[in-house]
Structure 1
Amino acid sequence: MRRTQLALLLALTLATGFVAGALLAPSSPAHARTEAYTQLGVFSEVLAHVQRSYVHDVDETALMRGAVRGLVGELDAHSAYLDPDAYRALQDDNRNAYVGVGIEIQPGEFGVVIGQVFRGGPAHGAGLQPGDIIHRVDGEEVRDASLPEIVQRLRGERGTAVSLQVERDTGEHTELLPFDLVRDVVERQIVHASMPVDGFGHIRLVGFRQRTSEQLRDAIAGLERDAGGSLRGLVLDLRGNTGGLLRESIRVADLFLDDGEIVSTRGRHQAPGDQWRARRTNTAYRAPLVVLVDDRSASASEIVAGALQDHGRAVIMGQQTYGKGSVQSLFDLGDGSGLKLTVSLYYTPRGRSIQQHGISPDILVEAGEVEPVARTSRESRNQRSLANPDGDPPPPDSASLDAVTDRPLRSALEQLHAFDVFQRAQAR
């Protein structure tokens, strides 16, 4: 009797939901609503048969969650139903510390790809690398699992073990590699600032989490102080940054823009959604800027790069970005579970959708290390050379980039230095 009542209650509840949806969207064709009610009736019949006749007792909670998961699974790759544990894991993911293995993942063409490995975490210590494709977690295939479900499997109590099997492309062949990890507290340092060359700063942003924009503002101020109050150029490095919180990406872009649109969204039927604009009072840095991106720069990273590119505020260098141009909203559900639902696409200030296309860099730079340059021959190195009558030359007024072996970073610093030289030449 109780199971029959549950089936009837579920049917009525779902029917009420469909009716409410029809009231909120009266333009929906009547035949579409009729088809939905028909399928709802079939679902209720199947549920009743399972509860009444299945060979074993069933976990009704797991059954209902599986049904909802299947429903949402018919949508895009970024929409997902999250049970209470997975929902908590997703919310924890937006904080700067958690217990896990220290990786960020994203969907890829051949499976779930490690987008980022956090320095000092278990995965980093074991040798996992960005670009590794995860095949199994604790022996179970994950190809058909949602990203939140995989995150949940990777999280757990501190000190507990988890095993991964990943596929790695070595350039010559691919190989399957096993990794045995022990979960630990992962402290994610989101902002990394340095001064690789006097007067020119480098800030690597590895995610968009809570307070990222505040930390970035502090980092810029620190570099300004280190440069004696005159930071002549800055590289904002978004390589490997798979995204995060929309509001933080807006705040980050606002640090570099005085005014104008940062990003806008459009929902179903291309209906105008929200629009966010820069405010002069938020600007933290107005000097020359280069933004580095690669094929793992996604979502929030693309919002920042797209806004700065469209306003001509920065030169974008590196590789074509990932191309995730959709926005997800989180909906709390009554049992502690949650729904992550794609609700709109975002557009750059010039109205470009990034979905599947990504951001094209202004200057394409391949990843890799700078090859050492052979020592060149000069007249001054000739032991029989005549001395210059004016004496020793003054030290060169140029930045030494010899210590920078990261090719994209070196290229970015060269661009900034060339522009700085040109500006000073024009001012003479």
Structure 2
Amino acid sequence: MSRNPWSFALPLAVLALIPASAAVRAAAESDTYKQLDALMDVFERVRVDYVDKTDDKKLIEGAINGMLASLDPHSSYLDSRDFANMKQTTDGEYGGLGLTVSTEEGAVKVIAPTDDTPAARAGIKSGDYITHIDGELLYGLTLNEAVDKMRGTPGTKIKITVVREGAPKPIDYTLTREVIQIKPVKYEIKGDVGVIRISAFNKQTGPATRDAIESIEKTLGPKLVGFIVDLRSNPGGLLDQAIEVSDAFLDRGEIVSQRGRTKADIQRYYAKNGDLTEGKPVIILVDEGSASAAEIVAGALQDHRRALVIGMRSFGKGSVQTLIPLSDETALRLTTARYFTPSGRSVQEAGIEPDIVVPQLTDANYKERPRLREADLQRHLINEIKTDDKYIEADMKADPRFAETAETLKKRGVTDFQLYYAINLLERLNPNYVPPAPVIASAAK
């Protein structure tokens, strides 16, 4: 078998004439070529001796995927199918169930369901493990293979089996695939508060957020007390849209920086003059499903003291993936930088810590439900500048402010405690605010 034509060994006499640093580089390159030779040896051996006839393209793609999988959970090779799927997602439309998933030691784990999709309506939760699709075991499939099985022609049915911590047995869901039109921004008015729900960061998010702010201001006028920006279970998306959303609430200053391998490889992004909300109070809601672009927005507004962040600690994905086209149909999605908040915090692993930790009391199983975060993923990037391990502590401690029970909240008609808490917090700024009457729980018989 032919050897790598660029593989060579320098005589010792020649090496002695080369400066030490160059000699080290030459030795390292020689070792790299030996490893490449080993890869080609394996490739040829598989082609010739494997029990079944192999496909060269499949073998090479497998080698590429294995190389990238050894780096971190977010770097990957996009073949023509994956490249098309990614474009559909960032454009805001695709056929499927509406799930953001990852793989963990061969198992498919839910990061978050997307609002108003079959998965969200059925009740699939962050932290669930998807074990079977239509009775077929998923264990051991690549992430792309698992996603392919969930996506499909709109109108077709699919049976998903889920294992949930705390549930006595697996849960079966029969879902109907839909054209998932991701409308990333919705808004509603609660009293004198404008609530802006951002579920994803695609090409529509920035303009839609500006439109929501304008519509809320037009509807409430001078009665407007403030805004709630709901980023819970938002898996992230496009960096430029996170910058645009942050800019809508900031008048000046840095929004985010991304830093590559070298000290000189830094890009900084700044807000333009003009806060669209004219300084109105802002609360941001986050939870363990708030990731990436959502954390950029929360971190920027928190660092500038422009917003109060409440909820639960966020996911902790502080890395930047660059899409590098390899051909017209394929691309490399490669982690090329870490991003940092304006104060220089890296949210990698640590996430965004809320100013006020508020549990979702209306979720009866919130204490038991597993909380999947970046730090739980295999081969995740390490936060090299963290100063402590506070984020490893338990998410929730006893807090007298949250003494209300699901029963008393239900009597108030509260189905989303975190949002209820945020609205109450803002409405207290209204001079005409009247606190809700206390609800007395019935005595046990």
Q: Specify the TM-score bucket, using the shorter chain as the normaliser.
A: 0.7 to 0.9
Contact 2:113 2:233 (C-alpha < 8 Å) held by counterparts: no
* Distance across 2 between alignment mates of 1:275 and 1:253: 14
Contact 2:230 2:286 in 1 (8 A): yes
Deviates more, 1:281-290 or 1:357-366: 281-290
Higher alpha-carbon Rg: 1
The aligned counterpart of 2:38 is 42
Q: TM-score when scaled to structure 1?
A: 0.79
Deviations 1:108-151 (A, max 9, x none): 69954323334543334544333322223344544554544432
Whichever residue aligns with residue 349 of structure 1, its letter is: P
3-state SS of paired residue (1:69): helix
Q: Does 1:154 align with 2:154?
A: no
Contact 1:117 1:130 (C-alpha < 8 Å) held by counterparts: yes
The match for 1:175 among 165, 169, 175 is: 169
Task: Tell whether 2:425 aligns with 1:415.
Answer: yes
1:105 matched to 2:101: yes
Task: Normalising by structure 2, report the TM-score.
Answer: 0.77
> Which residue in the other structure is 1:70 paired with?
66
In the other structure, the counterpart of 1:128 is: 124
Deviations 1:73-125 (A, max 9, x none): 11111111222212221221112221111222246699543233345433345
Of stretches 276-285 and 207-216 in structure 1, the one that deviates more from structure 2 is 276-285
Work out whether residues 89 and 148 of structure 1, in 8 Å CA contact, stay in contact via their aligned partners in 2.
Answer: no
Check the 8 A contact 2:106/2:142 in 1, yes or no: no
Q: Does 1:81 align with 2:77?
A: yes
Distance 1:56 1:117, change over 3 A: closer
Over 3 Å counting, the alpha-carbon distance change for 1:411 and 1:282 in structure 2 is closer
> Residue 351 and residue 30 in structure 1: after superposition, are their counterparts in 2 closer, same or farther (change >3 A)?
farther
Specify the SS of the correspondent of 1:29.
helix
Give matches, 1:18-417, under 5 Å: 29-106=25-102, 111-142=107-138, 144-170=140-166, 173-197=167-191, 199-281=192-274, 283-334=276-327, 336-369=329-362, 371=405, 404-417=414-427
| TM-superposed deviation, 1:230 | 4.4
Q: Deviations over 1:379-420 (max 9, x none)?
A: xxxxxxxxxxxxxxxxxxxxxx95554221122122212234
Residues 217, 284 of structure 1: 8 Å contact kept: no
Q: Kindly tell me: are residues 176 and 154 of structure 1, through their superposed partners in 2, closer, same or farther at Cα, counting changes over 3 Å?
A: same
SS where residue 77 of structure 1 aligns? coil
Paired with 1:405 and 1:127, the residues of 2 have a C-alpha distance of 15
Query: Which deviations, in whole Å up to 9, do the C-alpha atoms of 1:42-96 show, x marking residues without a partner?
Result: 1112222223333432111111111111111111111112222122212211122
- Write the letter of the residue equivalent to 1:276: Y
CA displacement at 1:27 relative to structure 2? 12
Q: Which residue identity lines up with residue 243 of structure 1 in the other structure?
A: G
Q: 1:112 to 1:222 in 2, by over 3 A?
A: same
* Partner Cα separation in structure 1 for residue 187 and residue 163 of structure 2: 32
**Who is 2:375 aligned against?**
none
CA positional deviation for 1:277: 0.3
Could you say if the C-alpha distance between residues 91 and 287 of structure 1 is closer, same or farther in structure 2, counting changes exceeding 3 Å? same
The CA distance in 1 between the partners of 2:133 and 2:85, in whole Å, is: 16
Q: 1:272 to 1:142 in 2, by over 3 A?
A: farther
- The percentage of counterpart residues that share the same residue type is 37
Q: State how far apart, in whole Å, the 1-side matches of 2:160 and 2:278 are.
A: 42
Is contact 1:82-1:149 (8 Å) kept? no
Q: Which amino acid aligns with 2:318?
A: G
Structure 2 unaligned residues grouped into runs of 5+: 9-21, 363-403, 434-445
- Retained in 2: the 8 A contact 1:196–1:404? no
Deviations 1:138-192 (A, max 9, x none): 445445545444323322223344332211234xx45312233332212222112
Instruction: Kindly state the Cα deviation for residue 298 of structure 1 after the two structures are TM-superposed.
Output: 0.9
